Amino acid sequence: MSSSSARGYWGDSFDTSTDWFTPVPPEASTAVGLLDRPDQGGRSGYPAQDHPSFPPGTLGETWSITQQDLYEVLGADADDLLADADVELDELVRMINAETTVMPPLDIPDTIAELDPHAPPPPEMVEAISTWKRRFLKGAVGAVILTLTGTGGAAAAMDKSVTVEVDGKEREINTYASTVGEVLENQGIEVDSHDALSPSPSSQLEQGETISLDRGRLLTMTVDGQQREEWVRSVTVGQALRQLGVSTDGAWVSAKRSMPVPEQGMNLEVKTQKSITLVNGGQQPEQLETTAVTVDELLNQQHVELGAQDRVTPGGGERITDGATIEINRTGTSTENVHQSVDPPVEEIVDNSMLKGERKVEQQGSPGKKIVFYRVTTKNGEETGREKIDEKIVEQPEPKVVRVGGKEPPNSAVWDKLAQCESGGDWHTNSGNGYYGGIQFDKSTWVAYGGDQYAAYPHKATREQQIAVATKVRDARGGYGAWPSCASQLGLSS
């Protein structure tokens, strides 16, 4: 409830059927009337202290209608209108301020406390009075002029028919307003800083004028995971995206593009189309078109599954950009079973009938079989590591049996002396002149007497093996004649 109703102003008992000068349609926002009042004994001065349109108390000229007020509402046509009505400006001011002119009551904001008639009015009251004047004064002027002239010519000149278009919806109104801003204020239409208004609020109003208001809408957009806020006008989603420079070719949009952006604004998500390259392990690179925002979303779209040790570059939570390359490194481990042979063990039997250094294979034996278990690591299909983790014998090998000599060669000391003479005591020398070992065998003699059973060349055999072969040569030839020079020096029989 307004303060005027609470304080018992004249409006509480006002009879619209008798007290208004002219009946007012329900949609009108201005109404004035003239009342006959008895002679007040020559009392002059205005505004009247008990003016029915004003609340109780004396606020001086705060309530008064001034010449400046009339010029503001009548605008550039003020002098012509007054001339047509044949009335002076100060006389018009006096008549409007007179107690017989009744205008709709003033709504005092509830925030204003009880007024002190001896104190200056608070700013809120001054603003309320100014708004009241702007809203109703022109209608009051028209009514007074109509009363004075008895014709509607001058008053009609103040009335204009205009079209108000809000977000494409039109309505025609008649108004006494002088400017676009006054029309909007009288119609209760507020203009926000993000709205588009044409003409501007301060533009003078012309007959037949069209006032166009396109309200701003707050569009909260998330484009490829990045949020931003933009103001648009009465457009569709698709038009708004084009105006804001958001690529929509092949894009995924959370709302239909033909949907109008509502006046209260909306949330909108857009996933733009991107060209990317996917390298999946050791496979050939694949060119893809996708609206995915992150790497994880792309992999889900492509039904790509990752192993526990697989790695993706860039990471799964990273945003995808146009032209990006997504690489999957497939790292895996597996167990591989390998069948291998087992070398037979060698069993040696010492035979004292054989000279030391002699060997004779009695049983070749046979290899066994085993399964070796390996842990194999691969990267993109290529083996990068192999680790033996276990083995299992599936077939035991048959041992190889070898007889080895246990008897000391006879006169081994003699052979050491002979070797000292022949090779300086070096049993493994290769003289380079076709003779080898401590006793300087040639190749043919070594082979002829069975030395190749020990080694291909004499110097590769042991001392004992060389002595065993030398003993066979000595016995076959009846002495040490195979080594004539050294045998002569040592006094050995040849």
Residues 143 and 98 in one domain: yes
Beta bridge partners of 220: 229, 267
Residues 172 and 255 in one domain: no
Residues 18 and 91 in one domain: yes
Given the DSSP bridges, would you call strands 160-166 and 210-214 parallel, antiparallel or unpaired? parallel
Residues 135 and 17 in one domain: yes
Residues 149 and 166 in one domain: no
Residues 132 and 51 in one domain: yes
pLDDT computed for residue 2 by the predictor? 34
Q: How does pLDDT run across 244-276, given as a tens digit for each residue?
A: 999 889 999 999 999 999 989 999 999 999 999
CATH number at residue 426: 1.10.530.10
Residues 262 and 294 in one domain: no
CATH number at residue 319: 3.10.20.90
Residue 22 has pLDDT above 80, yes or no: no
Which amino acid does the sequence have at 148?
A: L
Structural domain harbouring 281: 275-329
Helices 67-74/89-97 angle, 10° precision: 100
Residues 253 and 282 in one domain: no
Q: Which two tokens stand for residue 432?
A: 């380079």
Residues 140 and 185 in one domain: no
Residues 395 and 337 in one domain: yes
**Which residues in 63-208 belong to E strands, given as ranges?**
101-102, 160-166, 169-175, 196-198
Query: For residues 319 and 295, what is the distance between their CA atoms, to the nearest angstrom?
Result: 6
Structural domains of the chain, count: 6
Q: How does pLDDT run across 99-142, given as a tens digit for each residue?
A: 444 555 666 666 666 666 667 777 777 777 777 666 666 666 76
How much is the average pLDDT of 178-194?
Answer: 89
Residues 11 and 153 in one domain: yes
Q: How does pLDDT run across 308-319, given as a tens digit for each residue?
A: 888 899 988 999
How much is the average pLDDT of 17-36?
Answer: 38
- The answer to whether 276 and 314 are in contact (CB under 8 A) is no
Residues 136 and 256 in one domain: no
